[in-house]
Amino acid sequence: MDIEFFAATDVGRQREHNEDNFLIDPKLRLFVVADGMGGHAAGEVASQIAVHEVCRGVREHRDAIERCERSDGDPAALRQEVTAVLERAVQQASATIFRAAQEDPRKRGMATTTCALLLAGDRGFIAHVGDSRIYLVREGQVHQITEDHSLINELVKRGKIKRDEIERSPYAKYKNAVTRAVGAHESAEADTLDFDVLPGDQFLLCSDGMYAYLKESELPRLLAADDVAQVPKDLVALANAGGGHDNITAVVVRIPATATKEAAARASDLANKVEVLRAMPLFRHLSYKEIIRVLNATPVRDFAPGDAVIEEGQPGDELFVILGGKVRLHKGGAPITMLERGAHFGEMALVDRSPRSASATAEEPTRMLVLKRNDFYEIIRKEPALATKLLWSFVQVLTERLRKTTADLSGARLEAQAVDLSEAALFEPDITG
């Protein structure tokens, strides 16, 4: 897969030193941006160590990346291996920066943000610490696929402040405070993500001095310029024109929009999965990044007509989401309903070990996403913010089901009472004659 890329960095309008650093390794297809902190040139040292140590850590395990590119093994295991390579590289960078700060009193407290994008075959891998960002522009839609590790972002998530009120709030002076950084401690916790890379995808890796002046709605137009070498320069100029309060760095990566049947099929398949999940009450509040996280834990399974999907009375630990085809639900041989694309069943198995209450059989060739209980718990364990959304949505789904059951029972009770009254009227003696 051929790619286009270019980068630019600038000191900005209000700083004396540029503490940002970036790295591009075309052979590894690795892109890194780091925004240093610490003052007295220490921030510049931290960010420089970070980008080079991440690159070195990835290069030392290039064999894992090449296996992933060749699809030489179990796809899930290969993706986990490459993700682990990125995580270790960030840890290595953090330890190196921390030790350097301990050895030189003038650099005590230096640290840096780090965001890295690695392309391996048709997959992308991200490792991220701090408040630098990676944006994905796909089919004209902008997705921020990193989450800021910042005090302001935590306050926004907790509902203490709205994002458009930051500049006018008492918290404005803390807008540069990060909650995680590489080198602040000997180890650093990195967020990671792996995802499908599609023809036409465009990426922007940038420091906060860049995105502070960026309107996301304008990003597709900005990245679509004919000359990829000019795009980062234009972005830097945009930030400087807005005030340039901080150092500015932009790395642009573009995947050519090759029109092949295989590429079109991959794009269509992913779009279908995302659309179906977003329509489900359980997942409707998730961001694009969170949907991708769920999809990574949700393999696709195909069923032929007549195949039993689940059987009444048998234990189960899977939620099924229909991507295409039809499934017949039945109980004790009696039909219940027919389910089609977008429908789901078996969600109680994610939290309940009770036997299945009904059976499901494929009526025609059917494709489904399958989420296992253990994988659901793993998502919840690793992703606290995502877990909160999922569990809250699950409560809402169960509440709605309880309301429907209560309404059905109330209706049945009223119907039974009406029948009783009707029968009683039939047998009452006629005292009018």
- Which of 87, 79, 136 minimizes the C-alpha distance to 297? 79
**CA dist., res. 250 & res. 203, Å (int):** 10
Question: Would you say residue 209 has pLDDT above 50?
Answer: yes
**CA dist., res. 130 & res. 150, Å (int):** 7
Give the range among 103-117, 138-152, 162-176, 290-304 with minimum mean pLDDT: 162-176
**CA dist., res. 386 & res. 224, Å (int):** 32
Surface-to-core class of residue 40, CB atoms within 10 Å of its CB (0-12 exposed, 13-18 middle, 19+ buried): exposed
Give the pLDDT band of residue 407 (cuts 50, 70, 90): confident
DSSP 355: P
For residues 206 and 10, the answer to whether their CB atoms sit within 8 Å is: no
Q: Could you report the per-residue pLDDT of 326-370, keeping only the tens digit for each?
A: 999 999 889 999 999 999 998 888 888 889 999 999 999 999 999
In our burial notation (b when 16+ CB lie closer than 10 A, e otherwise), range 325-341 reads: bbbbbeeeeeeeeebeb
Question: Would you say residue 161 has pLDDT above 90?
Answer: no
**CA dist., res. 342 & res. 280, Å (int):** 7
Cα dihedral 160/163/167/172 (nearest 10)? 50
Question: Would you say residue 318 has pLDDT above 50?
Answer: yes
Instruction: Pull the structure tokens for residue 183.
Output: 């080198």
Instruction: Pull the structure tokens for residue 182.
Output: 């590489």
For residues 228 and 6, the answer to whether their CB atoms sit within 8 Å is: yes
Task: Determine the average pLDDT of the residues in 292-300.
Answer: 92
What three-state secondary structure class fits 150? strand
pLDDT at residue 160, rounded to an integer: 76
Give the range among 55-59, 69-73, 164-168, 343-347 with minimum mean pLDDT: 164-168
Give the range among 19-33, 63-77, 390-404 with minimum mean pLDDT: 390-404
Q: Which residue spans within 73-200 are E strands per DSSP?
A: 111-112, 114-120, 123-129, 133-138, 141-144, 191-196
Question: Would you say residue 405 has pLDDT above 70?
Answer: no
For residues 346 and 319, the answer to whether their CB atoms sit within 8 Å is: yes
Instruction: Pull the structure tokens for residue 194.
Output: 């792996």
Distance of CA 101 to the CA centre of its chain: 33
Instruction: Pull the structure tokens for residue 319.
Output: 């939620």
pLDDT at residue 421, rounded to an integer: 61
Q: Could you report the per-residue pLDDT of 215-245, keeping only the tens digit for each?
A: 999 999 999 999 999 999 999 999 999 999 9
Query: Nearest 5°: CA angle at 182, between 211 and 98?
Result: 145
Give the pLDDT band of residue 162 (cuts 50, 70, 90): confident
- Percent of the chain residues past pLDDT 90, beyond the cut: 67
**CA dist., res. 387 & res. 25, Å (int):** 35
Give the pLDDT band of residue 94 (cuts 50, 70, 90): very high
Q: Could you report the per-residue pLDDT of 126-149, keeping only the tens digit for each?
A: 999 999 999 999 999 999 999 999
pLDDT at residue 433, rounded to an integer: 43
pLDDT at residue 1, rounded to an integer: 65
Give the pLDDT band of residue 261 (cuts 50, 70, 90): confident
Structural domains of the chain ordered from first start: 4-258 (3.60.40.10), 259-433 (2.60.120.10)
pLDDT at residue 389, rounded to an integer: 82
pLDDT at residue 393, rounded to an integer: 77
Give the pLDDT band of residue 159 (cuts 50, 70, 90): confident
Instruction: Give residues with Cβ within 8 angstroms of 378, minimum separation 6.
Output: 297
Angstrom CA distances, 300 to 187, 313, 316, 334, stand at: 36, 24, 17, 28
pLDDT at residue 414, rounded to an integer: 67
- Which of 259, 249, 302 minimizes the C-alpha distance to 112? 249
Across the chain, what does the average pLDDT equal?
A: 89
- Which of 338, 388, 335 minimizes the C-alpha distance to 362? 338
For residues 43 and 15, the answer to whether their CB atoms sit within 8 Å is: no
Q: In degrees rounded to 5, what are phi and psi of residue 36?
A: -80, 160
Q: What is the pTM of this model?
A: 0.87
For residues 67 and 78, the answer to whether their CB atoms sit within 8 Å is: yes
pLDDT at residue 14, rounded to an integer: 93
| Residue recorded with tokens 């220490």 | 42
Give the pLDDT band of residue 419 (cuts 50, 70, 90): low
| Residue recorded with tokens 């402040």 | 161
Give the pLDDT band of residue 432 (cuts 50, 70, 90): very low
| Residue recorded with tokens 């399958």 | 370
Q: Higher-confidence residue: 153 or 414?
A: 153
Instruction: Pull the structure tokens for residue 93.
Output: 């960078």
Q: In degrees rounded to 5, what are phi and psi of residue 93?
A: -65, -40
**CA dist., res. 324 & res. 326, Å (int):** 7
